[in-house]
Amino acid sequence: MSVIERLTGDFARLPGIGPKTALRLVHHLMKGSKEDTRRLSRSLLDLSERIRPCDVCGNFSEHELCEVCSNPRRDGTVLCVVEEAYEVGAIEGTGQYRGLFHVLGGRLSPLDGVGPEELNLAALLERIRRSEGEIEEIIIATNASVEGEATAVYLDQEIRPMGPRVTRLARGIPVGSDLEYVDGSTIAQALAGRQEMSI
């Protein structure tokens, strides 16, 4: 197997990149400067050697604690549980959330062999226990897939007896969309979660 074929195969294993896009990326690197390729290589090496899960929440960081966990100005009474580390960035990007996070590292999927033991669930439950009531609310921010919903239900059953209030991200119609293009399940969730109009 040639270097081009091997690198194309490596790129094609990344999420969202098919064989054609992978080949285009390889050709882009070949046409670019050697320094750009070396810089990318060094960045990938740094990623593998220096980035690790945060000791508290499981988010990726260069240090023992990520930026969120090490920030004393964060609201320690609220904990948002997400499936993957990149979802922390999506929530942080809103500028609306000031609490802490916990990254599960996936979602329950028995068909794929992913049970509670394969996720960062034990650390979450221990974190809630150790907080001795300081954590008042757990926001479950798993995706609206079958597996995400199953994970949310499982989390609710495990966390609720421990005392914190358990909430779920609201579901509904995305801003800027037309009702005729929204699926029935999303409309049903939006109807169930409707709120009083405020001026």
0.75 exceeded by pTM: yes
**172/185 Cα distance (integer angstroms):** 9
Token duo for residue 131 = 């907080």
Per-residue pLDDT band at 198 (split at 50, 70, 90): low
DSSP 3-state assignment of 139?
A: strand
For 74-168, the fitting CATH number among 3.40.50.360, 3.40.50.2000, 3.40.1360.10, 3.40.50.880 is 3.40.1360.10
DSSP state at residue 183: -
Q: pLDDT, tens digit, for every residue of 3-19?
A: 999 999 999 999 999 99
| Residues near 139 by beta carbon (within 8 Å), at least 6 away in sequence | 78, 79, 80, 81, 99, 167, 168, 169
Contact status, residue 138 vs residue 164, Cβ threshold 8 Å? yes
Would you kindly state where each structural domain of the chain is located, as residue ranges?
Answer: 16-44, 74-168
